[in-house]
Structures are given as C-alpha cells and as structure tokens.
Chains A and B, each alone.
Chain A
Amino acid sequence: MKKASMTRRLFLLSTGAAATGLIVGCSTAAAKGRGYSAIAGAFEPNSFIQITPDNKVIFYLPSSEMGQGILDGLTTLIAEELRVQPTAIDVRHASLHEDYKNPEMGMQATGGSNATRAQFLPLRQAAADTAAAIRNAAAKQLDQPLDKIVLVDGQVMVEGKFYGFGDFVAVAALMPVPENSPLRSPKQFDQIGRQRPRLDALSKSTGTAEFGIDAEVENLYRAVVVRSPVLGATLQGFDASAALKRSGVVDVVKIKSGVAVVAQSYWQARQAAAVLELNWEKTELGSWSSDSIYNKFNETLNDSSQKGLECCDEGEGDKLLDQSATVVAADYYAPYLAHATMEPLNCTVEVNGDSCAIYLGTQNVQASAGAAVYYGDFDADKVKVHPAFLGGGFGRRGLGDDVAEAVLIAQKTGRNIQLVWSREDDMSNDFYRPAALVRMQAGVSEQGLIETWAVRRVGPNIMGYMLDEWVDALAPDYLNKGFVDWLSKLGRPIFNRFIADPSAGDGIYSDYDTPNKAVRHVTQDPGLRTGFWRSVGHSSNAFFKESFIDELAQSAGIDELDFRLANMKNNPRLTEATQLVAAKAGWGKTLPEGHFHGLATHSSFGSAVAQIAEISIKGTQIIVHKVTAAIHCGMVVNPGIVRDQVEGGIIYGLTAALHGEITLVDGVIQQSNFHNYPMLRMADAPEVEVHIVESQEHPEGVGEPGLPPLAPAVANAVFKASGQRLRDLPLRLS
C-alpha cells in the first residue's frame, strides 16, 4: 500500500502562505535583539511584550489582522496569562523580526488558518514568563515571599495592597526572565473562551483603524500603474506625452509590470493614466478564451495517455472500481475566481537615501520586506515595514507584487509615493483561484460503503506562481539576481511535471473511510497566474467531493446524512459536527412549502465543518434562506469570532457559488468591477446559525473552514428542489 508522499513542510506550502525556506532558506528577517524599539525604562522580556513604568502593557501582534480576528485572539492569550484585561493592552502590529515568524511556517506570514493553532502555546508562554518575572521582581523589591504576590486584573496584589506592574519593571529588568513558567489550565481560564466584543471593533466603527491605504508621509505623491490587458505581456513602447500635460502629473515611468503615472493626487494620476498610449507584445495567454480553456481541460480529461501526477494512491487505488455493486461517475467544473478584497491593493513607500520605509497591509511582512530588498536593491537592514490593518486578505495580500511596483516607482522618480490600485486593476491583475475540471468515480458496496474513490483532476497549479513571487522576495541577498530569478521560475515546471501541487488534491479524498483511493492531477495551464484563495484547494474540491457524495447516496437509495455517517467512522470530529448540524437544523423535518435542505460536510485546516442549506427556487433563481453550520475547531478563544468567521466563510462562499466566475476572451479578463463580478448583498444574505462543538483539544483553524461546505450544501439542496444536479460552478439553473 502506498500513501501519498507529501512531507509536512510541503503540505504547509499548500495551505495559504508558506516557506520558501524549503528551497532557498530565508534571509530577510532582521538581526537579533527585540523586534520593537526600546522604550526608556520599560521591561522588555521578549519581542512580544513591553511593560512601561507607567503601567502600559504593549503587545506586538505577530500575525496580520485581515478581519479574521487574530488581533483579538492573540491578545486574549496574552491577557489570560499576564492577568490583564484584553482591553487594557495596547496592541501594535509587529514589524519584521525573526521572533515574529509563524512557528509552523518558519516565515513571518499569516495564512492557512493556523495563526491561533501555531501560537497558542508560544504566546501564552511568553506572557506567563513575563507574569512570573513581574512577580519575582515584586517579591524581591517588597521583600515578600513569592506566594504572597498575586497578579489580578493588571495589578500586583500583595497582602491586600495593590501596585501597578510598572512599579516593578525596573527591578524586573535586572533579573533573569523565567522560562517555562506554568501555564494556566483550561479550568482556570477567564479570558480564553469568553465571548466579548472584539478588540478592534471600536477603531473599525469610528473610521480610526489605519489601513494601508490610509498611510500618510511627508511629500507624498500618488501613483497608478497601467498594466497589460493580457496579464504578463511585455511592454513594447508607450507614448506619455498627453499624460504628462495633465495637471498635477509629475512623472511617467516604466516599471516591470507597466507604466506608472505619478501626480499630486490620486485623481490626477488616474485621469492622466487614461490617456497613456501603450503597446504590448502578444503572449501565449492572449490566445486563450474561457471556452477554449474548458475544451482543452475536457480533452485532457479524456486523454488517458496523460497520466498526470499522483496526489493519493491508497489500497488498490482504482483497480477494483468495476467490482463494486454500484459504480458512479460524474464530471464537475469550477471556474477561476478573483479575491476582490474590499480594500484594493496599495503600498506606500518613503525613500530616504539608502533606506526605505514601506506602509501596507500584508499577509506576509517578510515577503513584503523582501520584495523591497530585491526590487529596490536596498540592504535588508535598511528596509522597514510598517504593517497596517488589511481591508481583507483572503490569500491575495503578501505576494510582494504591490511592493515591487511601489518601490520601483519610488526609486525611478526619487519621490515618496503611494501606489493605489483601482478596483479594475485589482480584478484584472489578481492571482486567481485556479479553475479545475474533475472526473469523480466511486464504487459503492451493496451496504452503501464506498469501496473505491477515484479522481482525475485537470487544471493549473498554484505553487509555481507563488514561488515565482516569493523566491525573488525571500532569497538571501548574497545570491546573484539572475540566479534567483531563474530559480523562481523553476516552480512551474516542477509542479507541472514532477510534484503534485498539494492544493490540487486538498480535501478531495481525505474525509471518508474508503479503503481504495486514487487521485491524480494533470496540469493544464493556459498561463493565467493563480494563487491562494480563501480555503485554497478545498474551495473547489469540497464542492466536487460533497456533491458527488450526495450522488452516491442517492444512487444507493440511502439518506444523505446516514450515508455520510456510515462512511466517516474514522473521522470523529466530522462526525460530531455532522450530528450536531443535523440536530440543530432538523434534518429530515418538514420544511415550509417549496423549501429544501442540502447537506455538506468537510474538514480543512484542522477543523471539521458541516452545513445544511435551506433553499427554494423561484423561476431559475436560487434563494438561500438559511444556512445552519456546526464547527469542530478544538478549543475556542472567542466564540463570537469563531461564529463570525464561519458566517463570513459562508457569505464569501455563497458569492462564489451563485455569482463567482472570472472569464477570458483572448486572454483579457472580462470582469472589472462589482457590476460584472457581483458580490452577495444584504438582501440576498441568508440567515446563518453557527454551532460550535464543545472541545478541550488544541485550537484549529476557523478563518477558512467555514467556506468549503457551502457550495455543495446549496447544490445538494437545489437537486432536491429541482431534480437538476448542477455540476458546474457557479450554480445556474436551466
């Protein structure tokens, strides 16, 4: 029996943001010492916490806050162990430092829904050690036995008398910082697991939260870039004479991705950009349109001489498929998708001689700094990143393409600039969720057990494109640039021909007990760049898998819930979530006239989620009334945020399921703004009810796992309502 050979490290690569350290080692983290600037008189036990003599507790947030609630979550961990109210902590975005690397990724990045899981123990330890240091200092300074020193609510209590933490920082700073101090037990928790308003709600409800686009520096000019209508084409020539005559325009410069117009205001730059004339060479992508891409995928799917790469081969693989009592086969398709973060990409750069400061919201502080080093030829220690809140991430922010453009413009013009992408720029220069066409086949026993599970998937990969961006940004700066560029281009051939991109198979075979599995992926890539999109491979694979499971249950004549439970005996988390959602939504109960339930269950990023969608149909319109969800994500830090993330994943997933489709004509993306790439709006948003499975296990992901089951839950309900099995996304009734 052969198992898919995928190392842990490689698996992490697939899950959102990852370690090019695998290939070239990381170099751009700043030198030793603390990650923050020292404050006079403050106690600075580690790179996460500073305590000032006037009792201020500052926490340097190592993960990026993009809506997922990590600011609240990680601050809560600090508060729990340091015995301070979370609201009393002054939270700041951490700049680049090796201490802030995500311990699972080995990189200072946020993605893959792992920030809580990876930092649950290390951050609590840092806070517990800090608390111990304060107590030690108080004991010494007050000459009291340690057991008389108690930390309560941000104060030091000694024999009924209260002191501020700040009273002891001077002494604490002179004593060794304890290590491995005991952590509080879950029974003692009074912050972790408690529901309260999220900490960033106030700034985000008053317009005072600072996003990348809000950065202001001295003498700031605004820049926009005009890029090729067909992604990746090379500029042959341009005429800037008309643009240069426009008011406010100060520079027009060529950079690697296109031509930048720099002006006093954004509006002036944008107006002038419209009168630029540019000539682009033809590229391979220019010969592709959505129809020809689909046909090529289909041709490849049916061409058995193309064996493709192995994602999974267990038991007898697909050899026994024909021997099962029932064999079912169906082809499914998912399109390319754009991220459409609410805040379009932007980056502000301030150049000062040989140093540079960059301001932006990024999921990858390290790659952002690295892009400035690589493209701007700065020394690594001369680049300072000022991270801000992200107006949505979803996997789009942190590739360094925004920084590369901004740094090149700043250098070519010698000005401080803010580069702002328009919505149109954002939508047509994305790293898209890859399209995929799959053939699902399964053999089911007479008892309704899946015996063989076989998938053949055709489509592009993600990793090649990611490595192209990241290797440049993360390669050690002593390496020759030509070499680095060559190296960065290796990703695509490697993942196209030799190693199955983990995201190709993510979640398409792992939830059910099936003894024999064969999953193969054949790369077919027209050259449209792809990237991590909320829940990555799971976003489409769950749709394929969970729609197909319903088809299997129906062909076996077994209730879809019973069929799933019977086939997931080795998946206790998913079983619990499934049973909970079935009970809460009332699976099998009588629904209002014309309403139907659809079920889907899926594990991703360590968590298990089950959803039941209640829908009805009006003409050819699918109306989603309610989605009930249950999540098993281990221990919960703030239940409100877990529920919000699952709901957010459902809404994001529903936009994709009902509307999401990026199409091409002669290589040109046809969608440009929200009129032709519509988002779900309030009137169409279903009621969402989220239930959390009680658990004391280690926390797992919540930012992404809520999304994957949504599309199949809706599709399965649509089948019940209409008899139409919709196998292509977005879901469209005929």
Chain B
Amino acid sequence: MITFQLNNSAVHVDIDPDTPLLWVVRDHFKLKGSKFGCGMGLCGACTMHVNGEAVRTCTLPISAVQGAAITSIEGLGTPDNLHPLQQAWVEYSVPQCGYCQSGQLMSASALLAKNPNPSDDDIEMAMNGNICRCGTYSKIKSAIKSGAEAMRTQGSLVEIFDPVITDKEASS
C-alpha cells in the first residue's frame, strides 16, 4: 500500500510497486490530463510536480512517491480557476494539438515557483526536457514571461506547490 498526496488529497493505492506514477494517476485515479509520450523520460508529456519539483512520471515508480505531494495538471488550476500561467497559455493561444501542454505547464510552473523572473536562458534550461512536436516553443516562452509577470504583480499563488499544508486544505 502506497500513500501520498495527489492534488492536495491524501490517497492510497495498492498496486505493483514498479508501476510508473503516470499510469497510476491516469488509469487508477482517472486523471487524464498528464500524457504518455515516450515512456523514457525524454519528452516531458508526463511531467508532474513531486514535492514541487518537475518530474517525468513515466519513469517514476509509484513506490518512490510514498509520502510525497504530487500535483498533476488537474491540481494546477481548473477552467474556472486558472493558474496565471494557464491564463497566459490561453491568451497567447499556445496549444496547437495540445498533447504536450500539460507537461509544458507543469515544467513552467515549477520553474516560476523557484524563479519568479526567469531569463531566456533559465526558461530554455527548464523547458528543454519538454518536446512540442507542433512547434509552440516561442509561444511557450512568451507565455511563461507573461505569466511570470502576472504572478509577480499579483503576488501569487504558490500554495499549490507547498508539499504539506495548504490554504485550500486549511480552509476546507
């Protein structure tokens, strides 16, 4: 039995401990926003936050997340309550096919949580593990800058990266 936090809820699962987190989240918890692209940690489509770090979950065995706080795209924001980066993603019309974008957003949001004002190089470094076959890179870059600025001026919203206690939990 493995216990962890998934988008601020305590969850547990009894499953082959080698099973990658990606498949547990997708097929067991039925959260389908995180995607399968390569299964080898090469494309970033499966990126989630593990204790605030952007991690490729297609190669992360579920046994490794015991006690960890996991955030998937579903925990980043919702259509009614967008994370500033998601807001920027929509404003800039970043997605084309959209398949890579959950992973892109999770990498980008992990970056901004640590570095609220990233340079082009910082962005390229943080995002280089995420492939976009449709070629949305320049828009991703613009949207990250715009989202970063919005977060700086709104003084945002990092509670969702907090691995233990969150405002959400405290108030609910």
Contact surface of A with B, Cβ cutoff 8 Å: 66-69, 197-198, 200-211, 213-214, 216, 222, 247-248, 265-268, 271, 340-344, 389-393, 420, 422-423, 640-641, 644-645, 647-652, 673-675, 679-683, 685, 687-688
Q: Can you list 29 pairs linking A and B with CB atoms under 8 Å apart?
A: A201-B89, A203-B98, A205-B89, A206-B77, A207-B32, A207-B72, A207-B74, A210-B32, A211-B98, A213-B36, A265-B19, A342-B99, A342-B133, A342-B134, A343-B35, A344-B36, A390-B97, A391-B99, A640-B93, A647-B138, A648-B135, A674-B38, A674-B131, A675-B40, A681-B128, A682-B128, A682-B140, A685-B138, A687-B138
Residues of chain B within 8 A of A342, CB atoms compared: 35, 37, 43, 45, 97, 99-100, 131-134
Contact residue among B18, B101, B133 (Cβ-Cβ distance under 8 Å from A341): B133
Interface centre among A204, A342, A688 (most CB of B within 10 A): A342
Cα distance A649–B136 in the bound complex, in angstroms? 10
CB of B20 within 8 Å of the partner chain: yes
Chain B residues closer than 8 Å to A680, beta-carbon distance: 135, 137
**B8 contacts partner chain A, Cβ-Cβ < 8 Å:** no
Return the contact of B138 from the options A207, A423, A681, A688 (Cβ within 8 A).
A688
Known contacts A208-B79, A342-B43, A674-B40: does B93 contact A197 (CB below 8 Å)? yes
Give bound CA distance, A343 to B79, whole Å: 23
Indicate whether B156 reaches chain A with its CB closer than 8 angstroms: no
- Interface residues of B, Cβ cutoff 8 Å to A: 15-16, 18-20, 23, 27-28, 30-40, 42-43, 45, 72-74, 77-79, 82, 86, 89-102, 105, 123-125, 127-128, 130-141
> Chain B residue with minimal CB distance to A683?
B124
Which of B45, B82, B99, B137 has its CB near the most chain A CB atoms (within 10 A)? B99
The residue of chain A having its C-beta at the shortest distance from the C-beta of B135 within the complex is A651
In the assembled complex, how far is the CB of residue B95 from the closest CB belonging to chain A, in whole angstroms? Answer: 4
CB pair A673 B40 closer than 8 Å: yes
Residue contact A420 to B36, C-beta cutoff 8 Å: yes
Given A206-B82, A682-B124: A648 and B134 interface contact (C-beta under 8 Å): yes
Which B residues are CB-close (under 8 A) to A206? 33, 73, 77-79, 82, 86
- Alpha-carbon distance A205/B45, docked complex (angstroms): 13
B143 nearest in chain A by CB position: A205
Q: Which residues of chain B are within 8 angstroms of A650 by Cβ–Cβ distance? A: 135
Residue in B34, B90, B124, B130 whose beta carbon sits within 8 Å of that of A205 in the complex: B90
Among A206, A341, A649, the most chain B Cβ lie within 10 Å of the Cβ of A206
Instruction: Please judge, given known A-B contacts A197-B90, A683-B124, A685-B138, whether A266 and B23 are in contact too, CB under 8 Å.
Output: yes
Number of residue pairs spanning A and B whose beta carbons lie under 8 angstroms apart: 183
- Give the distance to chain B from A29, nearest Cβ to Cβ, in Å: 26
Which B residues are CB-close (under 8 A) to A391?
Answer: 35, 97-99
Determine if A205 and B95 form an interchain contact, defined as CB atoms under 8 angstroms apart: yes
B136 contacts A648, CB within 8 Å? yes
Q: Which residue of A lies closest to B77 (CB)?
A: A206
The answer on a CB contact under 8 Å between A204 and B40 is: no
- In the complex, which residues of chain B have a beta carbon less than 8 angstroms from the beta carbon of A649? 135
Which one of B39, B96, B130, B140 lies within 8 Å of A67 (CB-CB)? Answer: B96
Q: Bound state CA distance, A654 and B139, in angstroms?
A: 17
Residue with the highest number of chain B CB atoms closer than 10 Å, among A68, A207, A214, A247: A207
Task: Tell me the smallest distance from the CB of B116 to a CB of chain A, in Å.
Answer: 20
List the B residue with the shortest CB-CB distance to A641. Answer: B93
Contact of A423 with B79 in the complex, beta carbons under 8 Å: no
Question: Do A682 and B141 have beta carbons less than 8 Å apart?
Answer: yes
- Interface contact B133-A340, CB-CB below 8 Å: yes
